[in-house]
Every structure is written in structure tokens, then in C-alpha cells.
Structure 1
Amino acid sequence: MKTELTFAVLVDAENASHNDYLAMLEEVEKHGTVAIKWVYADWTDPHQKAWKDILHETASSPKQQFHYGKDAADHALMMDAIEVTNNNSRVNAVCIVSSDGGFYSVAQRIREYGIHVMAIGKKNTPERFRKACHNFVFTDNLFEVTQNNNDDLDTLLLNAYHRCVEQNTPVYLGDMGRMIKQINSSFDPRTEGFQSLKKLIKSRSSLFDIVQESNDRCFIALKFKSATDGSHTLTGKVRKWERKKKFGFIKSKDGDYYFNAQELQSSVRDIREGITVIFNAVNVSEVRVQKDSASPSAFNVVIA
């Protein structure tokens, strides 16, 4: 059985951008649970003020290190990395956020302890640091940051589903529930008016099929639609496009429609938010009545 990773995320704020921080945390959460978020800098420096709001929003702890010597913040991060992996039994993974090749030695040492080492940095990060990690992610490859996840339930469910389906198909609902909590710790199906996640998923019948169900286990799969008699041709604009996961939503006069890359008749490289597309959909009249239900599926999507 694969051991679940519990991360300490240690950020060199003087060598990373606050604009990327949410996407960085989302990337780490794909691989496990984040238990510690420590961000290092000389916070008396006016240039670091931009980090203030994002630290509060993500419940991250700022670690103060005055510039008494060269690379003082880096040295503090290295010492804490060694200490947390030796003294915190819950932490079995570390993610270092920096493009500074000087971290290669601490990454190598932690790896020798049997700790999983991940890092996030720019493409110009020295190779020795990248090779010292189990997993190095370039900032250019980070997921686009999804805005207002709490207000976009369909996006949250689909995002969690696609992360799980990379590991197993169909998806066990319990695994999907844990993934949802990793993405959004405040998620609760009762907030959406349902007593359980299973009941919520069943209400999203235009997105998911229940492929196996028993008293204590439930497996789901994404519903794909193909062209059938009675379909309607509509025009709309791409409201949201999850580039990495290759699914999105189209805004039309009849409401929102979900689509994925398999339904595209145009090149996936040409899809972007704001472009006009033509697509097929079914049960348009029902959609008008059920505006509060899940977004119906679009298929045969082409750029206008």
C-alpha cells in the first residue's frame, strides 16, 4: 500500500513570487497533504509587503530572518528542513520552493533520510538541485490558479475527479472526497444542501455516472455524451478552461455547459477562455428548468 505523503512546504520568499504561491500549494496537494507552510524572508524589507495578504489567506507562517549575513534566510530554511524531518514524525515529505541551486545539498541530505523531496522553481534552476529531488516542478508548468472555487461546485468536483482518475478508473468516491478536502478544506456537502457526498454526486447526473454501489462503497465515472437525434446546436463562449486537466465550461444564452478535450472538433491548443464556439447539446428545455442543477454536457465543440 502506497504511503500517503505529509508535506512541510518551505518557501524561499526572496527567490519566489507571491503571485505563484496558490498554484504552488495546489501542485503540492496533488501529491499529498500539506501540514506545514513556512515562508522565509526578511519581512522588514518593504519589497516583501506583497506577501502579506497571501500568507494570511493560506494560513502560512512567515519566518523572519534579518540579513545579518549573506543568504541568511536560505540558511534558516535549510536548518529548519533538517530539524522538521528529524523531529516531526508526521512529516515524511518536504517541498522546497526556490530556484537557488544552493539548496541541492539539503535536498540530497533529506533524501538520504528516506524523506520524499519535492521542489518548485524556475527553468533556470541548476541541474544539481533538480536531480537531488524526487520531483521537481517548473513554475511554468503549474496549474492555472482557479478563482472562486467555493462558488464553482462543478469545477471543484471535476478537478478532484480528474486528479483521482490518474490513479484509478472508475474512481472510488471515498478517494474523491479526500481529494476534494485537499483542494478545499472547507468543503462540506451540507453547505450545498446534501447530507452526503454520494447524494451530491447523484444530483450531478449530467456529469457523473454511478458505476458500482453497495452499502459502504461507491464508484463513479465521468459521463460522456455523443451526438444523438434530438440534439441542439448552440453558440457560446468558453467561460473557463482548465488547460492542464483539459476540461472547461461554455457560457451560452441557455446557461453553462461542461465539455472536455474528447468532445473538441478543433485543436485543443486553440482553446482558450473568451473564444466563441459552436456545440451540440441535448435536453435544452430541461436545462432552462433546472438552472440550479449541474452544468449539462456539450459535445462536438468547434471554434466559430
Structure 2
Amino acid sequence: MTDDKRLAVLIDADNTPSRVVKELFEELAGYGTITVKRAYGDWTNPRLGGWREVLLGNAISPQQQFAYTVGKNATDSALIIDAMDLLYGRNVEGFAIVSSDSDFTPLATRLRESGKRVIGVGQRQTPKAFVEACEKFVFIEVLGSSSSTEPTEEVTPSDEPKSLHSLLTRALNKVPTDDEGWAAAGTVGQHLSRIDPSFDARSYGASRLSDLLRAQHFVETKSVTSSSGHSQLWVRLKGRRPNDAPAQKAPAKKATKKAAKKAPAEKAAKKSG
């Protein structure tokens, strides 16, 4: 997932705890090279006092926004204006909007319409509209969990998140497979992010997607090593028979049968002629 695209990280400090900043930047480093780091808030407010050392220690540029009017969020407006300036300045290829505020939904939508990558980061309480507007959304609650050295426990049907079975099944029924129903785990992961931008293996107690797939009772996995020595994980629904996948090959078989039936008829016509 890591690439060389330039990424602007814009943080709504009013809605983001300062304690997660280190893990935040470690996470975002996987999406590109961070070239812009800005945090927005009223730094005269004692409530943001915990941000002081974080700003200095992570080279984050603080953007001061006074609360001019009660009930109006000047921080949101400043972040949006800066994002549009960066968009038109063509200095970055992607944006990370760090906030749990649904007010940034139109901004995320506009940036994606312009062909920019948009990663959202916020708490689980973030409204669904903002989550869906992003290409990828990372919940703050899972940051740092991937560094755990404890082994991943098997997820049993009783304690498995209700939506996981449905998500994986839908993905495995949509992604390209070989004749025996096997799909590359990386392709499955990409499709999962498309149908649910907030999908994250860490939300289900696994550090990586491969660990999560191996732990599921309704799928089977295998590792295939290429001639170059690179190992790749493949996955398919358990019990799937070779003639079950992929469904899109069925029309081709029918066409072959029709052609086989048509050939004798054409030969007979030529002989009679």
C-alpha cells in the first residue's frame, strides 16, 4: 500500500486526542510521503494544552483559529480553506483528514471528485456519511493495536462480529478467482475497503488481514510461493467446488456447446449442397 504520493495531514485538534499522534503518523506513512502536517484549533484554550509538546515533537504546524462566535466552528472552516488551497496548488496527491466531525463530508467528496486520495481518521462515533465519503477510514481506537506481539486467537462463530461473515462472503463472491475458487488475499482486501472504507482487520482482533482470514471457520487459505520466492496468501469459501466459481465463465461454456452442435449441421449442409 505504501507509495511515493505526497500526502497532506490536516488535523482537527478540537476532535482529536493528542495521545494518538505518534501512532497516527505511523499509520499514515503507509499511504504516502507526508509533506504537510497541520493542526487546527484555538490554542489559547486550556483544553488543548496537551497538544503543545505533541506539536513540537512531531513538526506539526499549528494553525490558530479563535472562536469568533459561539456555536460556530472556525476550525472547520480554516481546515477546509487550506485543503482547497492545497488542492488547487497541486502540491499533494492525497489528503488525510483527521476528525470525527461530519462537517468534513463535503470536503472529502470534493477532493475525491478531483482525483485525490482521501484517508479519514476519527473515532468510532464518526458519522457514517463522513466515513463513506473517504477512500479509506481508520478508527483511532485501533491505532497501535497492530504492534501487539500476542498471537491472534481464533474467532469462533459465537464471538465473531456479526458483519464479518457477510463482508468476507460478499467480497469472495465478487473478486476474480481461479477455476477452483481461490482468490488472492490482497485483492480481497482491496475489495473490502471499497465496500466498507472503515474495514480494518484490527477491529476484529487481528493485526493483519492474513491473520484474520486464517482464523475464520468459513474460509480456507493456502500460501503459494512464486518462482521469485515471494509468498502469497490465497483464500476461498470453505466447501466451494471448482464448478461453483467463477459464475461468469458459464456463458462461455454454453457458447462452446452451441458451436459444437452447429458444426455437424454445417457439414451436413455442405454435403447436401
Separation in 2 of the partners of 1:82 and 1:32?
A: 19
Code of the aligned partner of 1:4: D
For residue 140 of structure 1, report the CA deviation from its aligned partner.
1.4
Separation in 1 of the partners of 2:118 and 2:64?
A: 24
Tell whether the 8 Å contact from 2:9 to 2:97 is kept in structure 1 after alignment: yes
Check if 1:103 corresponds to 2:104: yes
Tell whether the 8 Å contact from 2:146 to 2:208 is kept in structure 1 after alignment: no
Structure 1 residues 94 and 20: alpha-carbon distance in aligned structure 2, compared to 1, 3 A threshold: same
For residue 37 of structure 1, report the CA deviation from its aligned partner.
0.5
Is the partner of 1:90 in helix, strand or coil?
Answer: coil
Name the residue aligned to 1:39. 39
Tell whether the 8 Å contact from 2:10 to 2:98 is kept in structure 1 after alignment: yes
Q: What percent of counterpart residues are identical?
A: 36
Name the residue aligned to 2:136. 135
Separation in 2 of the partners of 1:245 and 1:8?
A: 25
Check if 1:75 corresponds to 2:77: yes
Name the residue aligned to 2:8. 8
Name the residue aligned to 2:127. 126
Structure 1 portions without partners, runs of 5+: 147-165, 168-242, 247-260, 262-266, 268-304
RMSD: 3.1
Separation in 2 of the partners of 1:52 and 1:244?
A: 31
In structure 1, which of residues 223, 240, 244 is the aligned counterpart of residue 207 of structure 2? 244
Structure 2 portions without partners, runs of 5+: 148-184, 187-205, 216-273
Q: TM-score, normalised by structure 2?
A: 0.52
For residue 244 of structure 1, report the CA deviation from its aligned partner.
2.5
Tell whether the 8 Å contact from 1:23 to 1:145 is kept in structure 2 after alignment: no
Separation in 1 of the partners of 2:93 and 2:10?
A: 14
For residue 143 of structure 1, report the CA deviation from its aligned partner.
2.3
Tell whether the 8 Å contact from 2:3 to 2:33 is kept in structure 1 after alignment: no
For residue 145 of structure 1, report the CA deviation from its aligned partner.
8.9
Separation in 2 of the partners of 1:50 and 1:244?
A: 29
Separation in 2 of the partners of 1:40 and 1:74?
A: 8
Name the residue aligned to 2:150. none
Separation in 1 of the partners of 2:85 and 2:142?
A: 30
For residue 245 of structure 1, report the CA deviation from its aligned partner.
5.9
Q: Deviations over 1:17-36 (max 9, x none)?
A: 00111111111101111101
Name the residue aligned to 2:88. 86
Higher helix share: 2
Tell whether the 8 Å contact from 1:23 to 1:144 is kept in structure 2 after alignment: no
Name the residue aligned to 1:60. 60
- Larger RCO, structure (CA 8 Å, separation 6 or more): 2
Larger Rg: 2
Q: Deviations over 1:233-290 (max 9, x none)?
A: xxxxxxxxxx7369xxxxxxxxxxxxxx9xxxxx9xxxxxxxxxxxxxxxxxxxxxxx
For residue 133 of structure 1, report the CA deviation from its aligned partner.
0.6
Code of the aligned partner of 2:16: A
Separation in 2 of the partners of 1:142 and 1:18?
A: 13
Separation in 2 of the partners of 1:245 and 1:65?
A: 39
Is the partner of 2:50 in helix, strand or coil?
Answer: helix
Is the partner of 1:107 in helix, strand or coil?
Answer: helix
Tell whether the 8 Å contact from 2:3 to 2:32 is kept in structure 1 after alignment: no
Tell whether the 8 Å contact from 1:9 to 1:34 is kept in structure 2 after alignment: yes
Code of the aligned partner of 1:42: D
Tell whether the 8 Å contact from 2:119 to 2:134 is kept in structure 1 after alignment: yes
Tell whether the 8 Å contact from 1:7 to 1:94 is kept in structure 2 after alignment: yes
Tell whether the 8 Å contact from 1:65 to 1:76 is kept in structure 2 after alignment: yes
Separation in 1 of the partners of 2:3 and 2:55?
A: 29
Q: TM-score, normalised by structure 1?
A: 0.47
